[in-house]
């Protein structure tokens, strides 16, 4: 249903045509009686997917007859104004697995989703205004949430929020400012975290996110990020299964870079583009990556000769050393014997 102004929606309980309704999408719809809408939808026992895009819904749910959605597993609310109804509706949802929300205000987040804390698996947030006023003792734990995606978010209790999601396997964040104004001694521990990707992110205490994921992390990508590192610790264990390390125009503390350096034995893709670090790291760090298949160190303004230890990287298939100041020629290069290299940019 799209582009309509609706006062009341009525589905007859005996209507066989809607008995198997699986998915409902409302787009650019204005509804004046929100209580009627959600009471009616809750009568559709087969409904598993519900989308609200650019909708305006007024009214308030009657607390003595809150709707129940027993089988609703997917919810998407994008650029929709639900007035005072949103908190009430979300509290009734007990089986959500996938939630996507954008362009809305979410008060008391993530507690607002506590009804689905045992079922939620995927959470996507973009351009949302998130607020949280609860103490850590009042926060829910999302036991099965494995994938978190965030676009264009400003949040000032980020680590506290992540602490409610101990089962995360993938964290992907774009164009967000994430701070932690109430940071204390308790850190989120992610023992199953496999992928961390951040693009254009301003984040303090970044390294706390990776604490505990040394045996699980496989992919780490950081593009144009501003990361602070007050919690870098000496003598931390290495990332034993790190396969992809991709850093572009992101400054990392040298202590943490050397910790990553100890993880290079497992790397298959290493991309350090955009003036990330000094060229002393090239010989002492990169040359440990004996299983490396893809290497890119472009746009670092490094000079001198390529270190001969690169000749030990016999699995290389693609090399990019462009936009640097290296001297010498390919005939005397340590890469001249790399018979598996198919792509080489200089």
- Comparison of pLDDT for 282 and 208, the residue scoring more: 208
Secondary element (H or E) of residue 150: strand 147-151
DSSP letters along 57-121, please?
A: E-S---GGG---BSS--EEEEES-B-TTHHHHHHHHB----EEEEESSEETTTTGGGGGGTTT--
Average pLDDT estimate for 238-255 = 80
Sequence-ordered list of residues with C-beta below 8 angstroms from that of 332, at least 6 positions apart, any chain: none
Contact in structure between 169 and 123 (CB atoms under 8 Å): no
Stretch among 3-12, 23-32, 207-216, 242-251 having the lowest mean pLDDT:
3-12
């850590």: which residue's tokens? 136
Average pLDDT estimate for 175-200 = 77
**Separation between Cα atoms, residue 51 and residue 75, nearest integer Å:** 6
- Can the peptide bond before residue 110 be classed as cis, meaning omega within 30 degrees of 0? yes
pTM over 0.75: yes
C-alpha distances out from residue 322 to 79, 296, 325, Å: 43, 8, 9
Stretch among 1-10, 34-43, 138-147, 158-167 having the lowest mean pLDDT:
1-10
Q: What is the pLDDT of residue 239?
A: 81
Grade residue 273 by pLDDT with cuts at 50, 70 and 90: confident
Q: What is the pLDDT of residue 15?
A: 53
């Amino acid at each position: 249903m799209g582009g309509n102004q609706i006062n009341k929606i009525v589905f007859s309980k005996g209507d066989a045509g809607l008995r198997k309704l699986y998915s409902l999408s409302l787009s650019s719809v204005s509804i004046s009686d929100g209580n009627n809408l959600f009471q009616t939808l809750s009568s559709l026992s087969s409904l598993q997917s519900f989308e609200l895009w650019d909708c305006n819904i007024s009214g308030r749910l009657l607390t003595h007859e809150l709707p129940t959605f027993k089988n609703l597993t997917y919810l998407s609310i994008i650029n929709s104004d639900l007035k005072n109804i949103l908190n009430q509706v979300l509290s009734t949802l007990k089986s959500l697995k996938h939630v996507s929300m954008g362009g809305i205000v979410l008060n008391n987040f993530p507690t607002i989703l506590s009804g689905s804390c045992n079922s939620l698996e995927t959470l996507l947030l973009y351009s949302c205004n998130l607020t949280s006023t609860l103490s850590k003792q009042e926060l829910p734990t999302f036991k099965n949430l494995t994938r978190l995606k965030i676009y264009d978010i400003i949040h000032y209790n980020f680590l506290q929020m992540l602490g409610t999601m101990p089962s995360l396997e993938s964290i992907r964040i774009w164009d967000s400012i994430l701070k932690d104004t109430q940071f204390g001694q308790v850190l989120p521990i992610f023992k199953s975290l496999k992928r961390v990707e951040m693009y254009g992110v301003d984040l303090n205490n970044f390294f706390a996110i990776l604490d505990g994921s040394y045996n699980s992390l496989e992919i780490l990508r950081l593009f144009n990020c501003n990361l602070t590192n007050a919690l870098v610790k000496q003598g931390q264990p290495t990332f034993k299964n790190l396969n992809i390390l991709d850093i572009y125009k992101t400054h990392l503390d040298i202590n943490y870079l050397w910790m990553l350096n100890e993880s290079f034995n497992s790397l298959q893709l290493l991309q350090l583009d955009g003036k990330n670090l000094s060229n002393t790291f090239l010989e002492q760090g990169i040359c440990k990556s004996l299983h490396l298949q893809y290497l890119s160190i472009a746009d670092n303004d490094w000079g001198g000769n390529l270190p001969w230890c690169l000749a030990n990287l016999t699995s290389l298939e693609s090399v990019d050393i462009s936009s640097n100041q290296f001297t010498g020629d390919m005939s005397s290069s340590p890469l001249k014997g790399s018979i598996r290299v198919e792509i080489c940019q200089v």
